[in-house]
Structure 1
Amino acid sequence: MASSTPFGLQIRPRHLDFQLPDPLPRHWHGGDAFKTHLFNAMSVLFPDGERFFIDSVRQFRDRIEDPVLKAQISGFIGQEGHHSREHLAYSARLRDLGYAITPLERRAQGRIRYTQKKFSGQRQLAATVALEHITAIMADALLREPRHLQGAHPTLQRLWRWHALEETEHKAVAFDVFNQVCGDRRMLHRAMRLGTWFFLLDTSRGLILMLKEDGLLWNWQVWRDGLRWLWGKQGFFRGLVGPYRDFFQEGFHPWQHDNLALLQSTREEFDPVAAG
C-alpha cells in the first residue's frame, strides 16, 4: 500500500465556525506582543501557502493508484482548504487593527508564482513535503505542550489547536505522494533547507512589522522575553530542533514521530460524538 498513515485514521475536514472576536484583542496571547505576533505572522502566510500545498499534491492525484491514499489526498485538500479560509478571516481581523499585512501576502504570493512557473511539479511537491514537516512538528509541540498557548484567548487557542490536530492527521499525505511519484531524498533535503530559510525570513518580517506598528520594535524587554520563550531551555522553537533534524535521517518518515495517542486524545475536543 502507498499510504503509511496508521490504519483506520480518517482524514476529513471539520467545518468549524470559530467566530473570531471582533475586534481581535491586539495582544491576544496573554497580553504578550511577541508571542501574539509570532502566531499572527505565521497565520498571514497560511492562506496562500496552503493553496500552494493543495495545488502541488492535486497535480499528482491521477498518478496514485492506492484507493486509501487517494481518499487521504481528498481529505488533505479539504482540510487545507478550510484552514486557508479560516486564516483569511484571521487576516481580516489583523487588517481591522491597522496591521499592514498586504505586502507580506504579496511577497509570499510572488514567490509561489515564481515557484510554480520555474520549478518542476516534483520540486513543488518536495517543497510541500518540507513545509508540511515544519508545520507537523510545530503542531505536535502545540498539542503536547499546552504551555505554549497558555493564557491565550480561548477562541484563538481553540483555532490553533484545531489547525494543529488536522496538520497532524495529514502529516504524511504529501510525503507518501512524493514517494510514489519521485522519492528523491536529496530533492527533499534541498527543499527543506530552502523552505526553512523562507519560513523563518517571512515569519520574522511579519513579527517585526507588527511589533513596529505597536511601537514595540525597539523594546529590549519584549525581545528578551520573546527570544527566551522561543529558544530558552524549554523554548518553543528549541524543542523543534531534534524533530526537525530527523527529516534528514536516512529512511525518515513522518509517522516515525508516533503521536497517534496524542492525536486521538485531542480529537475528543473536536469530535464529541466520536468521543462518546
Structure 2
Amino acid sequence: MQTVMVVPGESERFWNQTPFRSYLFNAFSLLLPSGEQFVIRAMEDAATHLPEGAPLQDEVAQFVREERAHQRAHRLYNAQLAAQGYNAIALEARIERAVQGLEHALSWRERLALAAALEYLTALVSRHALRGEGWLVHNASRQSSLWRWHCEEEVAHHGVALRMLCEVGRVGYGRRMALYVLASLILLGDVARHTWDFFQTDRAQGRLGWLGGARSVAGFVLRQAVGLARMAVGWLGYGLPMHRLAPASQVGRNAEKARIEVRPLQACDIPRLLVLEHKKWSDGQAADADAMAQRIAAHPQLCMGAFCPRTGEALASLFLKPISAVQLQSARTWADCAKICSHDGGQTSRDLFGISLSSISPQGVEAIFAFFWPRALKAGWRQIYLGSPVPGLARWRRGEPDAPVESYVYAMRRGGPQDPQLRYYWQKGFKTIVACKAGYFPHAASLDYGVVVRGRIPLSFLAPLWRHVPLSWLRGMERCLARGL
C-alpha cells in the first residue's frame, strides 16, 4: 500500500482548479492526523471488548493500519501547507487539544460512537469526491492521487466502525444521534474555520481578493447544488436503525443481495423450505409442511422467502400474520400466537406477529427485510411482535437459583440485552420487551420460557402518506437509502 505524498510547491497553491475547492480539501487535511488518532484509539479500546478470535478483530487491525497510513500522508501534506505560509501548525495544535478534551470527557462507548459517526461522515464526503470531478480534480497531480486513494479507503472501510458500534458499543439511539450531530458540527465548524484562515492568508499576501473568493465559493455551490442535496439525504440516513447501517458483514453485501431472489412464498416452495427448517431448527421446533401451507394460504403477502437463483436453495424465510392486542394478551404460548385464524387481527389491527424467521444466510435476511419494508409501509403495518427464546437462561439460573427470571431477561450488557438471542433481535430493531412467559414453547436452554418483543417498522408513523405513494416509489426510496449508506 502506498503511503503518499507531499503537496507541491508555491506554483500549485490552488491545485484543485479553484481556490475554494483547494481550501476545502486542505481544510480536511488539517483535521486528519489528530482525528485519525482519535478514531484509532477508540477502535483499539473497543476491540478489547470483543470475544477472543472474533472476525471483527482482523477487520479492526486492517482498519488501524489504513488509518495510520492516512495519518502519515497527511502529516507530510500539512507540513507543506505550513511551508506555503498557511497557519497549519497552529490550527493542527488547536485540533489536537480539542481531541484530547473529547477523549477525557467521553466514555469508551461514546468515543466509539463518535468515531463511527466521523467515519460515516468522511465516507459520505468521500463518495461525492470520487463522483466525477465536481469536487476533486482527477489528473496525475500528487494531491489528486493522495485524495483519491484516501477517499477510496474511507468508503471501503467505514463500515468497520459501525459494526464495532453495533457489536460492543451500543449507546442508545438518542445518544448515538447526539454524538452524530456533534461530529457533524465538529467537521463543519473546523472545515469552515480552516477555509476562512486559508483565504485570509492568501488575501493578506495579495494572492486572492474578496471578489475572487466569493466567485469561487458561489461557483462551487451552484454547480454542485444537486450533489449537496444528495449529500443532505445521505446525512439523514444515519438516523436509520443500526441494523440498516451496520449489517453483520459488508464484504460483498451489495453483490450478494443483488444475487438473491426474494418473493412471496408459494405452496411449491415448501419442499425447499422444509430443508431450511431442519437446517435451522430441531425436529420439535421445525414447522411441518401442513403448517407452512396453512400460513401461505391464509396470508400469502406476509410469507416471504429468499432463494439462491443459481441453485434454488432457500436461504431465508419469514412468516408473519396479523394479530390484535386481545389475541396477544390472551395467548399463553407461542402456538397460541402463531395459530392461523379466520379473524386474525380483525379489521383494525396494524400489528403483526412474526411466526418464524429461519435463515442460513445473513444476506438473505437483509434481502427479505429490504423487500418487506416498502410493502409494510404501503399496507400500513406499524409494529411487529416476536416470540423469542432466551438460550442463556438455563446457564444463568445455575448461578442464580433463587432470582426471578425477569432479572435475567431485562439485564443489559454492553448497551444491549444480556441474552444472546434477545440481543440479536434488539440489534434488528426489536427493542421493547412486552412479556416474559413460562411454558411459552419447549426449549431446554430457555427452561421453556419465552419473551415477547416488539419492534416498530421504521417510518411507519407516516402511514397516511405512504398509502397514497406508489409502491414503486417506496421501493426506489429503499434502494436510494441503501445506496446512501
Q: What TM-score do the two structures reach when normalised by structure 1?
A: 0.81
SS at match of 1:28: coil
Question: 1:16 and 1:113, CA in 2 relative to 1: closer, same or farther beyond 3 A?
Answer: closer
Aligned equivalent of 1:84: 71
SS at match of 1:243: helix
Alignment of 1:81-120 (within 5 A): 81-120=68-107
Q: Is the 8 A contact 1:23 1:96 kept in 2?
A: no
One of 157, 182, 190 as aligned partner of 2:178: 190
Deviation at 1:41, TM superposition (A): 0.7
SS at match of 1:214: helix
What is the root-mean-square deviation of aligned Cα atoms in Å? Answer: 2.5
SS at match of 1:149: coil
One of 191, 213, 218 as aligned partner of 2:201: 213
CA distance in 1, matches of 2:209, 2:7: 30
Question: 1:221 and 1:97, CA in 2 relative to 1: closer, same or farther beyond 3 A?
Answer: closer
1:248 correspondence with 2:251: no
Which letter does structure 2 place at the counterpart of 1:225? S
Q: Is the 8 A contact 1:43 1:91 kept in 2?
A: yes
One of 22, 25, 31 as aligned partner of 1:36: 22
Question: 1:152 and 1:36, CA in 2 relative to 1: closer, same or farther beyond 3 A?
Answer: farther
Q: Is the 8 A contact 1:29 1:36 kept in 2?
A: yes
Q: Is the 8 A contact 1:140 1:259 kept in 2?
A: no
Which letter does structure 2 place at the counterpart of 1:35? R
Q: Is the 8 A contact 2:38 2:99 kept in 1?
A: yes
Higher helix share: 1
Instruction: Structure 2: state its 5+ residue gaps.
Output: 256-485
CA distance in 2, matches of 1:19, 1:116: 30
Aligned equivalent of 2:142: 155
Alignment identity in percent?
24
Question: 1:232 and 1:21, CA in 2 relative to 1: closer, same or farther beyond 3 A?
Answer: closer
Which letter does structure 1 place at the counterpart of 2:111? Q
Deviation at 1:227, TM superposition (A): 3.8
Instruction: Structure 1: state its 5+ residue gaps.
Output: 1-13, 262-276
Deviation at 1:254, TM superposition (A): 5.5
Deviation at 1:260, TM superposition (A): 6.4
Deviation at 1:38, TM superposition (A): 1.0
Aligned equivalent of 1:229: 220
1:21 correspondence with 2:8: yes
Deviation at 1:239, TM superposition (A): 3.2
**CA offset digits 1:6-65 (Å, max 9, x no partner):** xxxxxxxx23343543457211112x1111111101101100000000000100212223
Which letter does structure 2 place at the counterpart of 1:37? Y
Structure 1 stretch displaced more, 198-207 or 142-151: 142-151
CA distance in 2, matches of 1:145, 1:220: 27
Question: 1:217 and 1:64, CA in 2 relative to 1: closer, same or farther beyond 3 A?
Answer: farther
Aligned equivalent of 1:178: 165
Aligned equivalent of 1:53: 39
Ranked by relative contact order (alpha carbons within 8 Å, sequence separation 6 or more), the top structure is 1
CA distance in 1, matches of 2:202, 2:227: 23
Which letter does structure 2 place at the counterpart of 1:190? A
User: After TM superposition, where is structure 1 displaced by more than 4 Å over at least 4 residues in a row?
Assistant: 258-261
CA distance in 1, matches of 2:65, 2:75: 16
Which letter does structure 1 place at the counterpart of 2:184? T
1:67 correspondence with 2:54: yes
Alignment length (residue pairs): 246
Q: Is the 8 A contact 1:228 1:235 kept in 2?
A: no
**CA offset digits 1:209-234 (Å, max 9, x no partner):** 11111117761342243144146554
Alignment of 1:2-13 (within 5 A): none
Q: Is the 8 A contact 1:29 1:153 kept in 2?
A: no
